């Protein structure tokens, strides 16, 4: 279809201007031409290119995106408005996302030669990872994540675009049925996609790693191969460490990037939420050999991987939503003031049970302090010292947990409203489950602050487990009197949000 001119009317939508002319589609700003009822947000129309010289993937991609936009929800995807008949005038009308594409950061760095700061790269990467995680929770995998398909809103959140190559567990995979094995944009394709596996959410984690690598170094980790042989090399090869190309790259950022780019999906982050967590809390990243490396992986290692990859065929993974549920981020709100040992004990036992049934879970221990507690003129109790004391208390509380197979981190939040702080922490970090005491702020103040756990349960974006202490303090020291399971009453409240 030729370029549409401003003022053109299509099924009641008036073309305002063309905002993007790509190889597979044109995108226009549009508005209603005959209706006085606006949707409450700006709209864009995407019209696929369908000339005789265009490939079949344009038509298939249009059908796939039409299918997915109608079922995907949440702030990280455009809202769907309408679609045109493929046999007459094919188009998709959706929300027009205000913001800047991630490609702008890549282009700016390329033009100026100045790389974004590590904190800026982490902020952008965390936003993209949280957006991808929301997709995976809906049993969808994007499979074409790249800087041009990510919009960053003014508030810093990310919106994913262009679902023409995506996969959804509950709908036919038209691309797998009709197209070649490797479907996607070559620089960002994950190794398992090369051999035809579609549906593993860790493929999106790999693509985010490629974007982080390019932001940090200005280079693509695997170049832009155009042959199947060139694509297969990423089944066994590591890219050059970012610090070898850009020495200013912090070890923690390299640790994160190289973990995303592992050839085997099992060696990457178990979920995009885990990736977002590390990017949001770089001080909690455990830097190992990946982060310290400044030289390429020895050829002997690549040769061994090549032998394993010869004739390799990946097996499909479980449903994305099931896979990410098996590796949740569990947040435990540990009270720090006016709290009994019995409450701390009950919280620890509830956390132990939650981690025990989720081997891949990540534990985040959180406490909330009031600004009044850190604002003091006494040098002996400076803000830094108060935080250090609370972090040490959190670590002592966690010593009773078996964390051999779990990653744990410890966080001190400062807020006058503990409930609001906990809800925002859960939302910002992609938490799956939050555990807190029914009397979080102590037995003496129960009546005054009983609304805190209720407010958390009402507004948290995840499941909330309320733990009520019923074990008398005197019995804690009498191990013979303790039953095998703690005497704690638990209520399971699922937030509607």
Q: Report the alpha-carbon distance of residue 113 to residue 107 in Å, rounded.
A: 10
The count of other CB atoms within 10 Å of the CB of residue 474 is: 9
Q: Reply yes or no on whether the pLDDT at 338 is more than 90.
A: no
E strand or H helix at 268 = none
- Which domains, from first to last, does the chain contain? 9-95 (3.30.200.20), 100-170+182-309+319-323 (1.10.510.10), 328-494 (3.40.50.620)
Q: In this predicted model, what pLDDT tens digit does every residue of 283-336 receive, in sequence order?
A: 999 999 999 998 877 777 766 766 666 655 556 667 888 889 889 999 999 987
**pLDDT bucket at 492, cuts 50 / 70 / 90:** very low
Nearest to 322 by CA among 166, 132, 136, 173: 136
Q: In this predicted model, what pLDDT tens digit does every residue of 84-100 receive, in sequence order?
A: 987 788 999 999 999 99
Contact 396, 346 (CB under 8 A): no
pLDDT of residue 220: 96
Q: Report the alpha-carbon distance of residue 375 to residue 355 in Å, rounded.
A: 36
- 277's CB contacts (< 8 A; 6+ apart) are 284, 329, 362, 364, 409, 429, 430
**pLDDT bucket at 428, cuts 50 / 70 / 90:** very high
pLDDT of residue 55: 59
- 357's CB contacts (< 8 A; 6+ apart) are none
Q: Reply yes or no on whether the pLDDT at 168 is more than 50.
A: yes
User: How does 174-187 read in b/e, with b if 16+ C-beta sit within 10 Å?
Assistant: bbeeebeeebbbbb
pLDDT of residue 484: 44
Which strand ranges, in their side-by-side order, compose the sheet holding 329-333? 407-414, 362-369, 329-333, 433-437, 463-469, 488-494
Contact 123, 156 (CB under 8 A): yes
* pLDDT, greater one: 73 or 295: 73
CA atoms within 13 A on the CB side of 411: 24
**pLDDT bucket at 206, cuts 50 / 70 / 90:** very high
**pLDDT bucket at 376, cuts 50 / 70 / 90:** low
Q: In this predicted model, what pLDDT tens digit does every residue of 115-140 receive, in sequence order?
A: 999 999 999 999 999 999 999 999 99
* pLDDT, greater one: 107 or 181: 107
**pLDDT bucket at 380, cuts 50 / 70 / 90:** low
**pLDDT bucket at 471, cuts 50 / 70 / 90:** low
CA distances from 450 to 191, 333, 378, 419, 496 (A): 51, 15, 32, 11, 20
Contact 208, 160 (CB under 8 A): no
Contact 249, 118 (CB under 8 A): yes
């Amino acid at each position: 279809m030729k370029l549409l001119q401003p003022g053109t009317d299509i099924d009641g939508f008036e073309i305002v201007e063309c905002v993007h002319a790509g190889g597979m589609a044109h995108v226009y700003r549009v508005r209603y031409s005959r209706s006085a009822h606006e949707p409450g947000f700006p709209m864009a129309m995407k019209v696929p290119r369908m000339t005789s010289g265009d490939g079949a993937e344009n038509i298939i991609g249009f059908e796939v995106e039409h299918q997915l936009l109608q079922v995907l929800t949440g702030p990280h995807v455009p809202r769907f408005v309408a679609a045109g008949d493929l046999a007459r005038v094919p188009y998709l009308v959706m929300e027009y996302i205000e913001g800047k594409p991630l490609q702008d950061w890549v282009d700016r760095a390329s033009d100026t030669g100045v790389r974004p700061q590590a904190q800026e790269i982490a902020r952008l990467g965390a936003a993209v990872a949280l957006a991808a995680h929301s997709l995976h929770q809906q049993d969808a995998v994007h499979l074409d994540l790249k800087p041009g398909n990510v919009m960053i809103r003014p508030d810093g959140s990310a919106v994913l675009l262009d679902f023409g190559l995506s996969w959804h567990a509950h709908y036919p995979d038209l691309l797998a049925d009709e197209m070649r094995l490797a479907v996607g944009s070559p620089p960002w394709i994950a190794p398992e996609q090369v051999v035809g596996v579609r549906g593993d959410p860790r493929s999106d984690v790999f693509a985010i790693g490629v974007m982080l690598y390019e932001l940090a170094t200005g280079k693509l980790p695997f170049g832009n191969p155009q042959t199947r042989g060139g694509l297969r090399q990423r089944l066994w090869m590591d890219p050059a460490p970012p610090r070898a190309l850009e020495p200013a790259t912090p070890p923690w950022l390299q640790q994160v990037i190289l973990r995303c780019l592992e050839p085997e999906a099992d060696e990457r982050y178990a979920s995009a939420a885990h990736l977002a967590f590390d990017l949001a809390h770089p001080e909690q990243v455990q830097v190992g050999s990946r982060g310290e490396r400044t030289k390429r992986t020895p050829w002997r290692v690549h040769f061994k991987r090549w032998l394993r990859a010869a004739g390799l065929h990946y097996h499909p993974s479980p449903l994305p939503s099931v896979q990410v549920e098996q590796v949740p981020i569990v947040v435990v709100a540990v009270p720090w003031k006016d709290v009994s040992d019995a409450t701390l004990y009950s919280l620890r036992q509830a956390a132990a049970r939650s981690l025990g049934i989720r081997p891949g879970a990540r534990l985040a221990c959180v406490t909330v302090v009031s600004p009044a507690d850190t604002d003091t003129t006494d040098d002996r109790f400076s803000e830094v010292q108060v935080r250090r004391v609370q972090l040490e208390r959190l670590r002592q509380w966690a010593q009773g947990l078996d964390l051999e197979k779990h990653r744990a981190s410890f966080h001190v939040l400062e807020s006058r409203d503990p409930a609001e702080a906990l809800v925002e922490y859960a939302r910002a970090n992609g938490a799956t489950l939050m555990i807190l005491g029914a009397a979080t702020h102590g037995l003496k103040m129960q009546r005054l602050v009983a609304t805190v756990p209720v407010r958390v349960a009402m507004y948290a974006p995840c499941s909330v487990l309320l733990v009520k202490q019923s074990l008398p303090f005197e019995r804690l020291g009498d191990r013979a009197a303790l039953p095998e399971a703690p005497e704690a009453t638990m209520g399971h409240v699922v937030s509607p949000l």
